[in-house]
Structure 1
Amino acid sequence: MKKLKVAILFGGRSAEHQISLLSAKNVISSIDRELFEPILIGIDKAGKWHLKNDSMDLLNADNPKLVSMSKGGAEVILSHNGNDHRLISVADGTPQLEIDVIYPVLHGTFGEDGSVQGLAKLANLPCVGCGILGSALGMDKDIMKKILRDGGIGIADFFTFRKGSAKNPSYKEVIEKLGNELFVKPANLGSSVGVSFVQNEEEFNKALAEGFEYDRKVIVEEKVTGREIEVAVLGNDNAQASVPGEILPKSSWYSFENKYVDEDGAALAIPAELDEATTKRMMEAAVETYHLLELSGMTRVDFFLKANGELIVNEVNTLPGFTSVSMYPKLWAYSGIPQKELITKLIHFAMDRFAEDDALRN
């Protein structure tokens, strides 16, 4: 049987570049090489694509803040000429390898926001994970929250601030509605990059300024007190949810350091200690969220479970972390799908969705 050539994209221009490297390392080590031939493409921070050898060869691989991509590898671009699914050498324009499917392991902007998904569509190639619309909706916390709210899904109350807008609310207006314990987040980032917890006006203004370094829109949310529980979702139209897992951070919130730097920064309780009715309700809400946001392939849905039983969707992650400590693969491993099989399923879901879309009348 011919092996599918899977172009695994990693790195990228996003502030989440380092986490992408760690996730990709895990994907590459787990992919079933009897079924797939991985083609490794490292994207540097300038956005250039480099065709790598069979090994990622990371520098400072044990430090999530300092890990980096080794230099080298022929610079390539992807052909958009119909069904000519080839990588083209930038140096001399000659065709290089042909590929069958794109597997982006790119967190944040320029990878998780619909950018690479649009590139795959132009190149007429299957792409693992959500499509253009679902990726964009899942990435933009402002739009995501409005769609979920209109769909009857619980969300944290929030304000949206726009860079340079005279219509942004004052600090007084914010705390009158949301209280003085607030989270300030760039609208289009993940992995807790650029996120601040603030309790006074000075901290608030500083956090806004930091948030605007990453995005033109910044979300200011009320602090929700509740258990942090995550559910992994897998599939296309007939998506299924994993068992819920609980995040137990050492500090008051689940920061970048808790997630990636401090190995003891948080405990993962899989499965979460929940009664049967709450588990069922949470899994159903995760799948409902998945469909409301037009998601496909994979997503992690992050909840707060309040003491009164109310479920709040904090955010969705359409290209969830795939590092050795990430919740998404761990949830599916407990739910009966080990990592190698999970990656195989994700690639097949991409191929299935592509075939369905390709059969539609243009």
Structure 2
Amino acid sequence: MINVILFCGGPSSEHDISLRSALNISNSLDKNKYNTKIVYIDKNGAFSKAFNTIDTKDEFDLVQQTDTNVAGSIADFLSFLKDFDPADTIIIPAIHGTYGEDGTIQGFLDCINFPYIGNGLLSSAICMDKVTSNDIFEKNALSQAKYLYTYREGFDDDFINRCVSEIGLPLIVKPSANGSSVGVSKVENKEELKDAIIEALKYDQKALVEELIDGQEIEIAIIGQGDKLDASVPAAYITDHKFLDYDAKYFDTKTVAQIPYKMEESYKNEAIDFAKECYKAVGCEGFARVDIFYTKNHKFYINEINTFPGFTPTSFFARLAMDMYDESFDFVLDKLIEDGFRRFQ
């Protein structure tokens, strides 16, 4: 029997989505193979006591009482963990965004020498910081939007003028390191740009300003490492929103998920190859969801890579991975767990 310790929650803006992902994982893990314990992490970063899986359909039932002393709560977790053997214990850090997807939790798990599924510290940190990943994509000659960025401390009117003159309008403004399109704005004119940057800087010390790519965002699930990569068909959310924002993804009932996205076979294969190159460029390992733009003249531009995408029943990664292998979600989880042990060993 393999021990699985499932993290959920976390101090990011995607706390609630993490709970939904964790509940789907918990309900899907084969109880004949895995002894699962859940650890809830609150919005301050405090760990709960480990608890057994819950028979519930409400993700908020995973919310547990935590110690106000964050360091003490982590010490309690380490005390709990000392009775487990890394040879038969793996951690699933189902925490999206800050803390879970930026390399923080991966570095912690590396320090205590326990295996976990998904990307390591470096690729997580690179992909979470969109400025850094954009720089790497540029170095590897991978097509992307024109971009500029500013730090909170250096933001001024000169930067606004540079964005308008060097990139042009309209623009997309986003926090450099945040997820699920939180803090993202589309701006049509110079007057809107300042407010959009101020909004983005509420969520991160850096704001990224990008050229608006006129195209459909398509998403591809990738599993593997190096040249041994499995990739799904492209999928897309069809929405009437200005762009695929948080509400469009999770709450707008008019948003339609198209799996697979309707495109010619040759362009589909080109999209998959492009997604793989982007995945490799930033050193991804384990799995990720690669988001790219597909324009009317059949060009591809990398948008971003999510190193621990949503694992909810409606999330693209889970659905695309099941479609890719023509298997149930528990099969996908088995594969990711096996890969986590392999890379640890």
TM norm structure 2:
0.91
Unaligned segments of structure 1, at least 5 residues: 62-66, 80-85, 356-362
- What's the RMSD between the two structures over aligned residues? 2.3
Matched, 1:205 2:205: no
Does the CA-based 8 Å contact 2:40-2:64 persist in structure 1?
no
Deviation at 1:98, TM superposition (A): 6.0
1:331 paired residue number? 320
1:182 paired residue number? 171
Does the CA-based 8 Å contact 2:11-2:42 persist in structure 1?
yes
Aligned pairs, how many? 337
Deviation at 1:202, TM superposition (A): 3.3
Give the letter for the 2:205 counterpart.
R
Q: 1:41-190, aligned counterparts within 5 Å?
A: 41-55=39-53, 61=59, 69-72=62-65, 76-77=73-74, 87-88=78-79, 100-165=89-154, 169-190=158-179
Does the CA-based 8 Å contact 1:236-1:349 persist in structure 2?
no
Question: Which of the residues 308, 314, 317 maps onto 2:303?
Answer: 314
Change (3 A) 1:101 1:201: same
Once the two structures are superposed, what CA deviation does each residue of 1:242-267 show, in whole Å capped at 9, x if it has no partner? 111122113121111111122x2421
Secondary structure in 2 aligned to 1:219? strand
Change (3 A) 1:68 1:14: farther
Secondary structure in 2 aligned to 1:50? coil
Secondary structure in 1 aligned to 2:290? strand
Does the CA-based 8 Å contact 2:7-2:39 persist in structure 1?
yes
Give the letter for the 1:243 counterpart.
V
Change (3 A) 1:33 1:58: closer
Q: 1:240-251, aligned counterparts within 5 Å?
A: 240-251=230-241
Matched, 1:194 2:183: yes
Does the CA-based 8 Å contact 1:229-1:305 persist in structure 2?
yes
Matched, 1:353 2:343: yes
Change (3 A) 1:257 1:167: closer
Structure with the higher fraction of residues in helix conformation: 2
Q: Distance in 1 between matches of 2:38 and 2:155?
A: 46
Give the letter for the 2:79 counterpart.
I
Unaligned segments of structure 2, at least 5 residues: none
TM norm structure 1:
0.87
Matched, 1:217 2:206: yes
1:82 paired residue number? none
Q: Distance in 1 between matches of 2:99 and 2:173?
A: 22
